[in-house]
Chain A
Amino acid sequence: MVTISTENLSVRLGRRDVLHGISARFEPGTLIGVIGPNGAGKSTLVRALVGLIDPHEGTVTLDGHDLAQLPARERARRVAYLPQGQTLHWPLTVERLVALGRLPHLGPISRISEEDQAAIEEAMARADVSHLAERVATELSGGERARALLARALAVGAKALVVDEPLASLDPGHQIDVMEMLVREAQGGAMVLAVLHDLNLAARHCDRLLVIDNGRLVADGPPAEVLTEETLRTVYGVTGYSRMLDDVPLVVPLTRWRG
């Protein structure tokens, strides 16, 4: 089980302060959505959480250890990360792509062990891409590609999974497929953190939502508490409806708010 927490986390990129004093604790077994307008600092937050950016102030800890002090490979084995807009630079087969997830477990010249192979196959099964194993990953459809990339992240076998906009350019069916996979990972005991833009998918599938606006954590709680009409107005600058449907908020943004 892995718990990640941030304490008064601030991040500066170049001369720009991107995140200000974010304190939060991410528990195992939960699917946490990070939402907020474009440029709010969502991607910066998750990059700091997986150790790709060092905090300017404050700390990120992984099970109580300072993330910045953890060796890179150790960190890579404990936290899997799927970057935003992940591209694949060579036409690898899906199986070869998924196998990249095992890199943190391999020495420089050791071969893929039976254990690694089992993890690769299990990851492909969990992301429903086993039947695509021999296909070239760069030639897949959008939905297949998203699942293959997710399988790569799952193959790491980490107890924490951080994904940045995994639903970009997917149709509703494939969006729900990916969200349900993330739910299953969380139910299996993992800490899953996803940056999302679709508020209804976030509301329906996440246990908890974090709202980032202008580099600050402005709301943190269950979807029903967070996704109010006021949040739409103050954070996104839009008017809209938020109504409960099956105990889950249904959010419909309507017009730009000009108040």
Chain B
Amino acid sequence: MQSLSTSSPSTQRARHRALIPLLGLAVAFVALGSMSLGPVSLGLGRIVGALAGHDDPVARAILLQLRLPRTLIGLMVGAMLGLSGAVLQGYLRNPLAEPSVLGASNASALGAVIALYFGLSEWHPALLPLMAILSGLLAIALLFALAGRSESPLSLILAGIAVSTLAGAGISLALNLSPNPFAAMEIMSWLLGSIENRAMQHVWIALPCIAVGVTLLLIDPRALDALSLGEDGARSLGVDLRRTRRRLMLGVAIGVGGAVAVSGAIGFVGLIVPHLIRPLTDRSPSALLIPSLLGGAVLLTGADILVRLIPTDAELKLGVVTAFLGVPVFLFYLLRERRLW
């Protein structure tokens, strides 16, 4: 808010308009970085050459089998998490909302953990993501049953906490009962969240879910703006709250389900991206959506590049890095809230 008083309205509007193109550039930049950086660095020329099908088998293999799927998944998952965080904060009118508030992330993780626990993922690799998506949808059905017809955000948050806690308990139970330490390790390591060693088939699993999720969340951004006036205010402006809620919850369940299915539980992206973006917009919920989608893609892919560059003995998990990134962001907001900054 302090920044509002320091620059004139017209420069501010110009800055708001430049935000999406700038974030688009940043997406292109991290995507390129993610394709080129790793144990073997590839220059821009080799990337373009290999993608165009020139005779460079090593570069082609690295790009098409390793880096392209990893990059695409990083961009998609980050975009989905960033967008759903922005949508949920607007819908619930709560700056602390993120996909996990509704239990969507935990429930999808539980589905994947069940697949790991019973060894379903060894029958067919697609079973794990499918279980994750299915259980995310089940969680949303449960959420609707619990929240009932009430349109208040509080009942939805309480129902979300119930679903999330139930799913968390299920995950703990699986860890508790797991037959051997290796099985527990496998579950743990999946829960930390990573997009390493992903193949194009993971892209094909996540892409349709995320595409449906993003579309559902982007259909009517103005309904979120209307909700800044509360439920009665929004309804008196012609917004159908019941339909809006159904659309948004389905979008989050399907999209986040698809994202968690291929990346594991990656926290904080949905929470911090809208916070980072909000001061750069006019602060209306609709203005936050596309920038948060792009910002999420940049943040997650950037964090994944960091994972590759930080030398550690055991491989560093992406979810760990995003959790560490979340802390300074919230410290910053806390300090500003206390007027210490």
Contact present for A52 and B232 (CB under 8 Å): yes
Contact present for A73 and B238 (CB under 8 Å): yes
Interface class of chain A by DSSP: mixed
Residues of chain A within 8 A of B56, CB atoms compared: none
Give chain B nearest CB distance to A71 CB in angstroms: 8
Q: How far is the CA of A182 from the CA of B228 in the complex (A)?
A: 24
Residues of chain B within 8 A of A103, CB atoms compared: 222, 225-226, 237-239
Give chain B nearest CB distance to A171 CB in angstroms: 24
Contact present for A96 and B226 (CB under 8 Å): no
Give chain B nearest CB distance to A163 CB in angstroms: 11
- Given A108-B221, A108-B222, A92 contacting B236 (CB threshold 8 A): no
Find the A residue at minimum CB distance from B240.
A72
Residues of chain A within 8 A of B221, CB atoms compared: 108
Q: How far is the CA of A92 from the CA of B224 in the complex (A)?
A: 13
Residues of chain A within 8 A of B230, CB atoms compared: 83, 86-87, 89
Tell me if B141 is interfacial: C-beta within 8 Å of chain A.
no
Enumerate B159-174 residues with CB–CB distance to A below 8 Å: none
Residues of chain B within 8 A of A73, CB atoms compared: 238
Contact present for B233 and A83 (CB under 8 Å): yes
Tell me if B329 is interfacial: C-beta within 8 Å of chain A.
no
A-B contact count (CB 8 A): 78
Contact present for A83 and B232 (CB under 8 Å): yes
Residues of chain A within 8 A of B229, CB atoms compared: 83, 86, 88-89, 100, 152
Residues of chain A within 8 A of B1, CB atoms compared: 91, 136, 139
Contact present for A76 and B238 (CB under 8 Å): yes
Give chain A nearest CB distance to B2 CB in angstroms: 11
Contact present for A92 and B283 (CB under 8 Å): yes
Find the B residue at minimum CB distance from A91.
B283
Which of A52, A86, A92 contacts B282, CB < 8 Å?
A: A92
Which of A72, A80, A96, A106 contacts B222, CB < 8 Å?
A: A106
Contact present for A89 and B228 (CB under 8 Å): yes
Q: Encode contact with A along B201-230: 1 for CB under 8 Å, 0 otherwise.
A: 000000000000000000111100111111
Tell me if B22 is interfacial: C-beta within 8 Å of chain A.
no
* A contact residues vs B (CB 8 Å cutoff): 47, 50, 52, 71-77, 79-81, 83, 86-93, 96, 100-101, 103-104, 106, 108, 134, 136, 139, 152, 156
Apart from A52-B235, A89-B93, 11 more pairs, CB < 8 Å: A50-B236, A72-B235, A75-B238, A83-B229, A92-B283, A93-B282, A103-B225, A103-B237, A103-B238, A104-B237, A106-B222
